[in-house]
C-alpha cells in the first residue's frame, strides 16, 4: 500500500455511484444469491460443527476432571490456530486465488471432529480443537471473498448474510449438543462429521463458480469518499491507526462474547441452579439473537453507513452489560438476548468498513478480522477462565460489563462512505 492513497476525481454528493463495485464480477448488477446462500449454508454447517467444542465443555470437564483454565485452553487451541493462519491465507489468496481451498478447509474440520469424538486424553482434545481451527482459517477468508464477488455491490448485506449462516450454526450447535451429545456422550460427535461431507460437496460446486469468474474479480483500488461524495486521501499511518481502532472495538465485542459463549452455561448452572440442558437452551437463545443482530447490522449499514452501526452496536450495549450481573434469572435471560441482538450488528459493519479502508486487499482484511475475532475470543476465554478460577464467574461478568466503553474509540475513525443508490 502506498504512502498516500490514489483517489479519483471529485464526485458530486448528489450523484449516485454505480451499483457495481470494482471488485464485483462484471454484469453482477443483481446479487448472485445462489452463491451467497450456498456460502451461508456452508458457514452454518462449519460453525455448527465448531460450536460442538464449547457445547461439550461440561462433559469434558467432568470426564477429564478439568478446571476452568484448562477449559479456556481448549478454546485457545482452536481460536489461536485460526487466528494465526487466517491473515496468511488471505494474503496469499489475494495474489493467488485458490477456489477449491474452501472444500479442503472443510476437510480439516471433518478430521478434527472425528479426532475429538475418539479423544481419550487432554492433549488429543487440544490437537482436535487445533485442527478444527485450521479448517476455519482456510474457509473464512476465501468464503468472504466469494461472498463479496457475488454481492452486486451490496457488500454489507452479502457479508451479513454470509455471517448469519455462521451465527445460525453457532446457535444450533449447543442445542444439538444438549439433546444428542450430552445424553449419548463424547463419541456421538462423530455423527456430525457427515455434515462436513455435505459442505465439502457444496463448496466444490462453489469453487467451480469461483474458478470460472475469478478473472472478473481482480480488485482495483476505488476512491474513498466522504458522506458528501468528496474523495478522501488517507496516509498509510491513518489507515493503520483506523485498523488499530477497529481491532480494539473487536476486542471489546469478542471478549464479551467469549464470556457468554464459553461460560454462560456454567454461570446459569452455578448461580440459578439450572440443569445442563436448560442452560444449553438459554445459550441457544443468546446465539440465536446473534443471528438476527448480524443480519440487521449488514442491512442497516448499507443504508445509513457503517460508523452509526458501529457506534450503536458497541457503546449502545453498555447499559445492558452493566445490569446483567445484578439481576435475577428472568432478566438475565432477557438481557443476554438484548446484548446479543445489539452487539452482533458490529462485525459486518467493521469488516466492510475495513475493506473500504484497504481496497484491493479483500482476502487479507477478511483473514485479519475473522482471525482477530477467533484469536481475541480465544485469548479472552483463556484469561476469563483464569479469573473465574481465582474469583468467580459473577466477578468475570462484572469486569466484562465495562468492555463496551471502548466503543467511544469510534469517534477517531475517518468518515468514509461509498455513495450508494
pLDDT tens string 373-384: 666 766 777 788
Give residue 287's pLDDT band: very low, low, confident or very high (50, 70, 90): confident
Reference 356, options 21, 88, 40, 33; nearest CA is 21
pLDDT tens string 177-219: 778 887 887 888 888 888 989 999 999 999 888 888 775 555 4
pLDDT at 29 over 50: no
Question: According to the per-residue pLDDT averaged within each range, which of 115-129, 371-385, 404-418 is highest?
Answer: 115-129
Selected residue with higher pLDDT from 236 and 334:
334
pLDDT at 107 over 70: yes
Q: At what angle do helices 193-213 and 33-50 cross, to 10 degrees?
A: 150
The pLDDT assigned to 344 comes to: 82
CB atoms within 10 A of CB 120: 9
Query: How is the chain split into domains, by residue range?
Result: 33-412
The pLDDT assigned to 18 comes to: 36
Give percent of the chain above pLDDT 70: 85
- Retrieve residue 364's grid coordinates: 487479507
CATH class of segment(s) 33-412:
mainly alpha
Amino acid at each position: 500500500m502506498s504512502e498516500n492513497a490514489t483517489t479519483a476525481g471529485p464526485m458530486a454528493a448528489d450523484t449516485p455511484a454505480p451499483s457495481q463495485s470494482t471488485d464485483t464480477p462484471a454484469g453482477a448488477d443483481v446479487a448472485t444469491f445462489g452463491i451467497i446462500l450456498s456460502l451461508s449454508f456452508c458457514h452454518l454447517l462449519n460453525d455448527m460443527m465448531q460450536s460442538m467444542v464449547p457445547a461439550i465443555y461440561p462433559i469434558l470437564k467432568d470426564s477429564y476432571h478439568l478446571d476452568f483454565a484448562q477449559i479456556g485452553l481448549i478454546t485457545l487451541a482452536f481460536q489461536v490456530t485460526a487466528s494465526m493462519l487466517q491473515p496468511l491465507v488471505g494474503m496469499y489468496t489475494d495474489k493467488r486465488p485458490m477456489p477449491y481451498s474452501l472444500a479442503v478447509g472443510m476437510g480439516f474440520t471433518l478430521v478434527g471432529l472425528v479426532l475429538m469424538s475418539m479423544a481419550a486424553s487432554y492433549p488429543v482434545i487440544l490437537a482436535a480443537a487445533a485442527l478444527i481451527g485450521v479448517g476455519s482459517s482456510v474457509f473464512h477468508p476465501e468464503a468472504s471473498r466469494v461472498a463479496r464477488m457475488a454481492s452486486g455491490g451490496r457488500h454489507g448485506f452479502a457479508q451479513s448474510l454470509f455471517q448469519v449462516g455462521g451465527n445460525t450454526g453457532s446457535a444450533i450447535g449447543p442445542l444439538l449438543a444438549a439433546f444428542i451429545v450430552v445424553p449419548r456422550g463424547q463419541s456421538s460427535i462423530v455423527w456430525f462429521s457427515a455434515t462436513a461431507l455435505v459442505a465439502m460437496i457444496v463448496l466444490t460446486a462453489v469453487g467451480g463458480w469461483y474458478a470460472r469468474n475469478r478473472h472478473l474479480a481482480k480488485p482495483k483500488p476505488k476512491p474513498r469518499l466522504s458522506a458528501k461524495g468528496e474523495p478522501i486521501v488517507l496516509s498509510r499511518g491513518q489507515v493503520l491507526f483506523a485498523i488499530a481502532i477497529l481491532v480494539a472495538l473487536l476486542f471489546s465485542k469478542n471478549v464479551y462474547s467469549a464470556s457468554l459463549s464459553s461460560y454462560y452455561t456454567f454461570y446459569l448452572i452455578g448461580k440459578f441452579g439450572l440443569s445442563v440442558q436448560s442452560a444449553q437452551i438459554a445459550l441457544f437463545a443468546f446465539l440465536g439473537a446473534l443471528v438476527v443482530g448480524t443480519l440487521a447490522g449488514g442491512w442497516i449499514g448499507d443504508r445509513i453507513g457503517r460508523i452509526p452501526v458501529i457506534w450503536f452496536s458497541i457503546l449502545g450495549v453498555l447499559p445492558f452489560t452493566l445490569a446483567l450481573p445484578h439481576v435475577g434469572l428472568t432478566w438475565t435471560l432477557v438481557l443476554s438476548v438484548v446484548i446479543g441482538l445489539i452487539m452482533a450488528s458490529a462485525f459486518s459493519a467493521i469488516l466492510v468498513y475495513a475493506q473500504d479502508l484497504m481496497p484491493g486487499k479483500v482476502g487479507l482484511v477478511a483473514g485479519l478480522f475473522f482471525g482477530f475475532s477467533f484469536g481475541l475470543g480465544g485469548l479472552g476465554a483463556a484469561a476469563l477462565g483464569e479469573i473465574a478460577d481465582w474469583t468467580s464467574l459473577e466477578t468475570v461478568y462484572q469486569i466484562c460489563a465495562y468492555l463496551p466503553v471502548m466503543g467511544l474509540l469510534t469517534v477517531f475513525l475517518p468518515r468514509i462512505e461509498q455513495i450508494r443508490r
